[in-house]
Structure 1
Amino acid sequence: MSLGEQRDFRLFWTAETVSGFGSYVTTLAIQVLVVVTLHESAAGVGLVNAARFLPYLVLGLVVGVLVDRVRRRPILVATDLGRGLLLVAIPLLAMADQLTLALLVVFMVAFGTLSLLNDSASQSFVPRLVPRPLLTRANARLDQSDAVAQTSGPALAGGLVALLSAPWAVLVDAASFLASALLVARTRVAEPPSRSVDLRSMRQVPTELREGLRWVYRHRTLTPFAIGTHIWFLFNAMAGAALPVFALRQLDLGALGFGLLLALAGVGAVVGSSYAERLGNAFGAGRVSIACIVGNAVAWALVASSPGDSVLTWAVFGAGQLLLGVSMGAENANTMGYRQSVTPDELQGRMNTTMRSINRAMVVVGAPLGGLLADSVGLRPVLYVAAAGFLLVAAGLALTPFRDARIPQETSVANPNDE
């Protein structure tokens, strides 16, 4: 059984690669825009980061129910087109000298709403594209493409920002979303007919929502993993709010230098995702995930300890980014494949959106918190706190049944109490 035989997955894989490439350009461009163009502090970075994920907190659980009711391909196409149009507006407003932090926050809320719909449909679409034994391999391929985008995207973004300015760099992402929409529209996956979403049927939403929550939070192995992931996102958001200010102002790396060093995480992710399936088969998804979270902690500690000296700064900061990429690349394919493999198709949307929504809710809390703490106690302390938080998550998961989690190879979905 080979992924090469899965035509529709190849199209989807290409679409995700293209849009992922553009997204890494925008991620760095928006951070530079906030810090350099709008002259905001870490608190401003945290506010913009939180705005992007606020819809996950407010609408996430309901979106999961809706995604399980309708065909997923049309959602992917429509949301890609919508995000592309939104991004086109940013350079136009900047050109008219009308772009402010408040307006950027509004745009990020709208962008986040479309991303919420796309993410829920995307993660739930993969199990319809490939058979269960290929899920880890499929997710590893997606991670590898994302890693390649992560390698070149920030470096290109740094160059584009230096050449064109941050607002205009986001046009690359707008074009990538258009290309992604066209590729996904060409897939020929036979999806179940959409169920009714009229007012009468919507009365079942609370019941269906509870079904999704029960699946995630009463499952013997998914539950500890979900809770651990929520805490991971809290600390990661805190570090993410402090990082651009730390790199651009305290270390004085510049947009291009910052982008080049972030690209090392992509190099590491290529390596990590290339070995993800092999590691998962040898040690199990649970053990691989726990080891990789320890790697996250070490990586952030290295970044936080970057000295002011120019040569050592690049070496230590770069080593931290490289290790971060390796650990995240090896972890994501295993945990994503695991949670997809143990969840029935009719619950995929609710499972994915439940976990992702609470994860993003942690970003809504953690990003402003990290920014405020960085402004008050310093940038390095916040990065060290995040590293310590990742260690706590790894230690907690090691004490739960999740440490023995493996992706089942049979075609039936396991009972949550049999894991």
Structure 2
Amino acid sequence: MATSTTGIAGPVAKQRGLIFRHHDFRWFWGGQAISVVGTRVTAIALPLVAALTLGTGAGGVSVIATASFLPNVLLPLFVGNWLESRRRRRIMVYADLLRAALLALVPLAWALDRLSLPLLAVVAFGVGSASVAFEVGSFAYVPSLVDEEDLPAANQALQGSATVAQVAGPGFAGLLVQVAGPAGAIVVDSVSYLASVFGLTAARQPEPPPEVDTTMRAGLLEGVRQTLGNPILRALTTHAAIFNMSGQILTVNLVVWLVKERQLSPGGYGLALSAGGVGAFCGTMMALRLARRLGYGRAFASALMLSCGAPLLLATFPFHGYALGAAVACVQLVSGTGLGNANVLSVTLRQVGAPRGTLARTSAGYRALIYGVIPFGSALGGVIGQLAGSRTGVAVGTIGFAVSAIPMVRRQIRTLRDPKDARQLVEQAPAAASEPGEAVARES
């Protein structure tokens, strides 16, 4: 495959100053950096409102968690189909305003003594639904906001702020809940979405009209068809779906194995897992440098060696207590570094590998497929842990991680020097798919 002469090496030096030189992206990123922290606060505070303010048990907390997650399974295909022919920034502003208004109902209802579990469930589902619209729209909006050569830097900045929120958000949320109470903490997220609105509306340049692919068929499943028919998106989706399902198998069993069977304290368990967030931030910041040195495909493969390979050690550890916690923290740090790196590279590959006229639908198809497997992973993890033991469940989950890397280390993808080179794979896909005996969705 021909090597791009301008791809990684030249633009990266320019990309380092994207936030400072690009007015519109700077405001967009600033609003997002604030809103993702608020989102992490609500992820902690909303279940606490049910548990502490309403006095519900595990069942009530489960209702809130289910209502928050359900839109990710039910709505992406509808949203992607609807957004494809519409300007995304306006929809994103409406989604932020809706999230802010819904969350504001919680402290208001608490003040009026009208707070109830059904109300919290409605708020959780509504916020989750608006979040699906915002995130699908954002994926398609960023390539119209910045030049294509700036996409890696834009995604690095957005992933970096999200990772910081992931690491610092739970601690900040806990402190806020302690000071202001669960309902009061929800106010922070409501206000944070207004900061996102401000960042979106501060753009000087009008959003260009969306590029619509007139050859695409109508129908909700078109996004899935486009995703599975595109060799880059198919490999990324297969990897992410197997990774997510394996992650659920691991998560369900890891807490039982570490805390109940190997005497690691809950505090030690939390600290061990938090090392993954630290690693993810480091990996996010290293992503473009690694891509410049190794090439895009090899950088991705190297990241997957860490994120999907390091966890294989977990089930082999013979330790107990804090020694086991320290060993798990080391694995989480290494794995998180690879994951943070891969997340930056993945988003850019998806944005460049999909034609502009299909960004919303393919993003929705990708999202539906990788989130849709999560309930199956949770159920399978429970069955494995129950029948074969939690340590076996941990082993199965980590083996699934390793298997998930296979679609992304094929030579076609591994030898990509620049994300733009992915277009050659996409252009060759129709001819390859038409060869006898080859199915569109099969990895070969």
Q: Does 1:40 align with 2:58?
A: yes
Change (3 A) 1:320 1:110: farther
Matches within 5 A, 1:54-203: 54-90=70-106, 96=113, 99-100=116-117, 104-164=120-180, 166=182, 168-193=184-209
237-246 or 146-155: which moved more? 237-246
Alpha-carbon distance between aligned partners in 1 of 2:65 and 2:376, rounded to the nearest angstrom: 10
Change (3 A) 1:298 1:344: closer
Q: Could you say which structure has the greater relative contact order, defined with CA pairs below 8 angstroms and 6 or more residues apart? A: 1
Output the amino acid matched with 2:363.
Answer: N
Q: Does 1:9 align with 2:9?
A: no
Q: Does 1:328 align with 2:339?
A: yes
Alpha-carbon distance between aligned partners in 2 of 1:415 and 1:302, rounded to the nearest angstrom: 35
Deviation at 1:115, TM superposition (A): 1.1
Equivalent residue number for residue 200 of structure 1:
none
Alpha-carbon distance between aligned partners in 2 of 1:258 and 1:99, rounded to the nearest angstrom: 32
Alpha-carbon distance between aligned partners in 1 of 2:65 and 2:81, rounded to the nearest angstrom: 25
Matches within 5 A, 1:241-320: 251-253=264-266, 263-297=274-308, 300=311, 309=321, 311-312=322-323, 315-320=326-331
Q: Please give the secondary structure, in 2, of the residue aligned with 1:207.
A: coil
Change (3 A) 1:31 1:132: same
Output the amino acid matched with 1:66.
Answer: W
Deviation at 1:78, TM superposition (A): 1.3
Alpha-carbon distance between aligned partners in 2 of 1:103 and 1:368, rounded to the nearest angstrom: 28
Q: Percent identity?
A: 29
C-alpha contact 1:50 1:365 (8 A) present in aligned 2: no
Change (3 A) 1:381 1:161: farther
Deviation at 1:248, TM superposition (A): 8.6
Alpha-carbon distance between aligned partners in 1 of 2:128 and 2:387, rounded to the nearest angstrom: 28
Deviation at 1:294, TM superposition (A): 3.8
| Count of aligned residue pairs for this structure pair | 405
C-alpha contact 1:84 1:178 (8 A) present in aligned 2: yes
Q: Please give the secondary structure, in 2, of the residue aligned with 1:158.
A: helix
C-alpha contact 2:238 2:404 (8 A) present in aligned 1: no
Deviations 1:277-301 (A, max 9, x none): 1222333433333443343345656
Deviations 1:163-218 (A, max 9, x none): 5555543433222112111211212343234799xxxxxxx995265654443212
Output the amino acid matched with 1:6.
Answer: H
Deviation at 1:393, TM superposition (A): 0.8
Output the amino acid matched with 1:229.
Answer: A
Alpha-carbon distance between aligned partners in 1 of 2:105 and 2:255, rounded to the nearest angstrom: 24
Equivalent residue number for residue 441 of structure 2:
none
C-alpha contact 1:56 1:113 (8 A) present in aligned 2: yes
Deviation at 1:308, TM superposition (A): 5.8
Output the amino acid matched with 2:95.
Answer: T
Change (3 A) 1:374 1:18: farther
Which ranges in structure 2 are unaligned for 5 or more consecutive residues? 1-13, 430-444
Larger radius of gyration between Structure 1 and Structure 2: 2
Equivalent residue number for residue 215 of structure 1:
226
Output the amino acid matched with 1:172.
Answer: V
Which ranges in structure 1 are unaligned for 5 or more consecutive residues? 197-203
Alpha-carbon distance between aligned partners in 2 of 1:240 and 1:105, rounded to the nearest angstrom: 24
C-alpha contact 1:296 1:323 (8 A) present in aligned 2: yes
C-alpha contact 1:28 1:158 (8 A) present in aligned 2: yes
Alpha-carbon distance between aligned partners in 1 of 2:103 and 2:387, rounded to the nearest angstrom: 32
C-alpha contact 1:63 1:353 (8 A) present in aligned 2: yes
C-alpha contact 2:100 2:189 (8 A) present in aligned 1: yes
Deviation at 1:405, TM superposition (A): 3.8
Q: Does 1:357 align with 2:368?
A: yes
C-alpha contact 1:150 1:263 (8 A) present in aligned 2: no
Output the amino acid matched with 2:218.
Answer: T
C-alpha contact 1:224 1:400 (8 A) present in aligned 2: no
Deviation at 1:127, TM superposition (A): 0.4
Equivalent residue number for residue 433 of structure 2:
none
Q: Please give the secondary structure, in 2, of the residue aligned with 1:221.
A: helix
Q: Please give the secondary structure, in 1, of the residue aligned with 2:58.
A: coil
Deviation at 1:73, TM superposition (A): 0.7
C-alpha contact 1:291 1:394 (8 A) present in aligned 2: no
Alpha-carbon distance between aligned partners in 1 of 2:269 and 2:186, rounded to the nearest angstrom: 17
C-alpha contact 1:213 1:351 (8 A) present in aligned 2: yes
Deviation at 1:252, TM superposition (A): 4.2
Alpha-carbon distance between aligned partners in 2 of 1:240 and 1:86, rounded to the nearest angstrom: 30
Change (3 A) 1:263 1:230: same
Change (3 A) 1:395 1:211: closer
